[in-house]
Amino acid sequence: MTQHHPADRIVVLTGAGISRESGLETFRDADGLWSRHNIADVCTPEGFRRDPMLVDRFYNGRRAELAGVQPNAAHLALAELERAAHDGRWNGELLIVTQNIDDLHERAGSHNVLHMHGELRRVRCTSCGATPEWLGDCLPDTPCPACHRPTLRPDVVWFGEVPLHMDRIETALAGCDRFVTIGTSGTVYPAAGFVAQVRDHAETVDINLDPPQVPTLFDRTLIGPATRMVPQWVI
Ligand code: BJW
């Protein structure tokens, strides 16, 4: 059997900005989550140890918001690109690495998605390691469906914790021809360092609502809302 070598291997890194026009808040924009919540309280393991109720409520609220929103034109355009590769209409390969914990890429129809900061639609048991799907509220006394201990936490990656799927992400970055970031402030590592890792072998593009605040390493920056810029870029 002849092996199929895609001519154009693209890694797309998405951040909170791609889901903004679906109605989900970003973190660091003026109206973002950090304008109302203290990062150290809700996004660190220490914060969760100190006040699990506060942290569970924060994620229960975001789970409820997620239930009321839909993927937008940017998510849909990326799903269409993956379909084009699958159907043989485009000789390429697309991997979405998302920092987002929402499931809007999947609901748009994308399959090749790695959630490096975890997923809102799961919880994780710190006793038995189970990661069951969870769509409603989870509280500190909620028993794990597998081991029945009340030791569930959001299945997300907080500051100081190790992001998920790093081996697969590093391999994809090393072998990509194009690297495109969409709607991320590029302030959180290791994701913020990906562009430096790929720029000697890949074309790099940054799509963001606002122009970069500091000089960037990207070859090109496309300024505008994701719902307009991503479908344009995909065509
Ligand atoms: C639009 C738009 C529209 C708006 N259209 N655009 C090296 C140097 C310094 C520090 C570190 C370092 N390495 C590690 C660290 C420590 C730390 C870190 O990075 N700190 C920095 C703040 C300095 N990193 C960690 O602790 C990470 N762990 C780690 O590094 O482990 C070591 C290790 C690494 C690798 C291998 C082995 C070991 C873990 C980081 C975990 C981050 N967790 C969070 C919470 C996840 C759960 C949750 O969602 O609640 O992840 S924090 C938060 O920030 C969330 C996001 O995914 C992440 C990034 O935010 P994002 O997506 O960029 O959003 P915003 O709001 O910042 O930006 C939105 C952008 O959209 C803006 O630019 C807008 O303009 C734009 N936009 N509307 C297009 N319509």
Q: How many CB atoms lie within 10 A of CB 154?
A: 25
Predicted TM-score of the model (pTM): 0.97
Whose tokens are 């790099």? That residue is 204
CATH number of the domain to which 108 belongs: 3.40.50.1220
Evaluate if residue 5 carries a pLDDT over 80: no
User: What domain range is 137 assigned to?
Assistant: 27-68+120-156
Provide the pLDDT for residue 23.
Answer: 98
| DSSP state, residue 205 | E
Find the Cα–Cα–Cα–Cα dihedral 170, 174, 73, 34, rounded to 10°. 40
CA dist 235 and 212 (Å) reads 24
Give residue 1's pLDDT band: very low, low, confident or very high (50, 70, 90): very low
Residue, of 2 and 179, whose pLDDT is higher: 179
One domain, residues 133 and 38: yes
Final residue before a domain boundary, out of 95, 130, 156: 156
Final residue before a domain boundary, out of 128, 156, 184: 156
* 75 classed as catalytic: no
Q: How many CB atoms lie within 10 A of CB 7?
A: 9
Task: Report which of 180, 24, 155 is spatially closest to residue 98, judged by C-alpha positions.
Answer: 180
Average pLDDT, integer, range 180-184: 98
- 68 — phi, psi (to 5°)? -100, 5
Ligand 1 pocket, 61 CB below 6 A? Answer: no
Check whether 61 is labelled as a binding-site residue.
no
Instruction: Note whether 13 and 189 are within 8 A (CB).
Output: no
One domain, residues 130 and 226: no
Distances (CA, A) of 98 to 41, 139, 209, 213: 23, 26, 18, 22
Which residue's CA is minimally distant from atom 13 of ligand 1?
189
pLDDT one-digit tens code per residue, 210-229: 998 888 999 999 999 999 99
What ipTM was estimated for this complex?
0.96
One domain, residues 148 and 80: no
One domain, residues 113 and 129: no
Final residue before a domain boundary, out of 107, 132, 156: 156
Ligand 1 centre distance from Cα of residue 159 (Å): 9
One domain, residues 19 and 81: yes
pLDDT one-digit tens code per residue, 9-23: 999 999 999 999 999
CATH number of the domain to which 57 belongs: 3.30.1600.10
Give residue 205's pLDDT band: very low, low, confident or very high (50, 70, 90): very high
pLDDT one-digit tens code per residue, 84-103: 999 999 999 999 999 999 99
CA dist 159 and 34 (Å) reads 14
Check whether 189 is labelled as a binding-site residue.
no
One domain, residues 106 and 202: yes
